Chains A and B, each alone.
Chain A
Amino acid sequence: MKPQPKALTILTVLSAVLFLGALGMVFLYAPLEEVMNYVQKIFYFHISNAWVGMLGFIVAAVAGVMYLVKKDMKWDIVELAAVEISLVFFLIAIVSGSIWAKPSWGTYWTWDARLTTAAILEMIYLAYLLLRQGIEDPERRARFSAVYTLIGAVSVPVTFLSIRIWQTIHPAVIGAGSSSGQGSFGMTPEMLTTMFFCLATFSVLFITLLWYRIRLGHLAEQVDQLKFRIMQ
């Protein structure tokens, strides 16, 4: 068994330090928002969680395609790792968004494009895990889950688009969005800095977690092979 690589240890420490820094920036550096006060503070981690969820979604889709092309089990491990991480982070994004939405929109949930798409994405991930559970042969499991990841990756943008046609009330923070978004706010430079710091922190955290999970996947594969050898 290979010992834990040095770089991974460094990354772990770096994530922890950055995370403390991000917390400090959110609570000490970023100014209070005038209307929403402390409620707005959740925004920095909310958007970072959603960002990591998106990263995981993209990595999983790419890994799925790579598996179908290369037929190498390492891509299957990457894909599963990305899906699991994305599942957790999107869940946190949804929950933190709901906590924010209650005081801002007066309701925990609306059927807005981003909320609904995130919820459907969670369902796709859960279905993905159920699919994996139902197949014993590792090669077939890898093939089927890669196909399903691909279908999910193609359908989610269409889902988003079709729900977008219903009016959205989610505030668009960056770029063009509907002007009808409620609870949107102008960001001061300090707020922007904090936001980008949080995004960077969570990106590092994502890489760290992904690495750990891929390592775990490889180890699990080795254990399976050892078991197989003993059984023979």
Chain B
Amino acid sequence: MQKKSNIYRPPSTYLKAIGAIVWKDLASELRSRELISAMLVFALLVILIFNFAIELQPNLRSTITPGVLWVTFAFAGTLGLNRSMAVEKDRGCLDGLLLAPVDRSAIYFGKALSNLAFMLIVAIVVLPIYSVLYNINVFNPGLLLVIFLGSTGYVVVGTLLSSMAVQTRTRDVLLPVLLFPVIVPVLLAAVKASSGFLQNLSMSEIWPWLNILIAYDVIFTAVAYMVFDFVVEE
């Protein structure tokens, strides 16, 4: 393991480094529109396929909607995570980033934040379309909170695992296999909390799920912060 240098760096450099990586990702995405467009089209296709596969009857919609939405986000999310890391790896950008004189965890947080931004953009576009297509109002501040917390947990683990997966021989296929078994609590809690908000259940029934989401986010941010160095080390 590379020794951390003892040079003093003001805390603002750390935040600046994170900001620079997020900015780089968003700017390149704004110009190429490769990643988000693929995620969006894929997400819409998943919703269409669900429509044929389980026939979203009006009376079933309020119970099935959260499940359909979260499966869509999870699938579209792996697409984005894979792509976002593959771009870095293929063109040697990751090596460049690693050479930069910043703490390596700054790279992790930068990538995680831009991945989170992509997830949320997809969610913001998918939600109204879903509302229109299925005539169900999914605009609910509680649901937006759940989407934020759930996406955070998803991205925190996903970014770490995708930076591992791109360095393997089986890269693209490996990420969902690695990610989905450890993301179960997030998906379960997010689906339950979303359906709680959509069915207007009392907060006392929703809080346990929100607590799990918050706990998961905090725990795995800490774990990822601790182990990211081991993942990118050469």
- For residue B220, which residues in chain A have a CB less than 8 angstroms away from its CB? 151, 154-155
Contact of A130 (CB < 8 Å), options: B170, B185, B231: B170
- For residue A165, which residues in chain B have a CB less than 8 angstroms away from its CB? 208-209, 212
Count of inter-chain pairs, beta carbons less than 8 A:
89
Q: Which of B57-65, B77-85, B125-133, B160-168 contacts A (4 or more CB under 8 A)?
A: B160-168
Decide yes or no whether B223 CB sits under 8 A from chain A: yes
On chain A, the number of residues with a Cβ less than 8 Å from chain B's Cβ atoms is: 30
- Complex Cα spacing A1 to B222, Å: 43
On chain B, the number of residues with a Cβ less than 8 Å from chain A's Cβ atoms is: 33
Q: What per-residue 1/0 map shows which CB atoms of B1-41 lie under 8 Å from chain A?
A: 10000000000000000000000000000000000000000
B168 engages A151 (CB within 8 Å):
no
A159 engages B184 (CB within 8 Å):
yes
Residues A163 and B223 in contact in the complex (CB < 8 Å), given A135-B168, A158-B215: no
B181 engages A144 (CB within 8 Å):
no
Q: How far is the CB of B226 from chain A (nearest CB, A)?
A: 9
Decide yes or no whether B117 CB sits under 8 A from chain A: no
Decide yes or no whether A59 CB sits under 8 A from chain B: no
Q: What per-residue 1/0 map shows which CB atoms of A131-168 lie under 8 Å from chain B?
A: 10111100010011011101110110011011101000
Decide yes or no whether A207 CB sits under 8 A from chain B: no
If A147-B230, A158-B215 are given as contacts, then 14 extra A-B residue pairs at C-beta distance below 8 Å, sorted by A number, are A68-B227, A126-B177, A127-B177, A130-B178, A131-B164, A144-B231, A147-B160, A151-B227, A155-B182, A155-B220, A159-B184, A159-B185, A165-B208, A165-B209
Task: Identify the B interface with A (CB < 8 A).
Answer: 1, 157, 160-161, 164, 167-171, 174, 177-178, 180-185, 188-189, 208-209, 212, 215-216, 219-220, 223, 227, 230-231, 233
A-B pairs with lowest CB-CB distance, top 5 = A134-B168, A123-B181, A134-B170, A155-B182, A162-B185
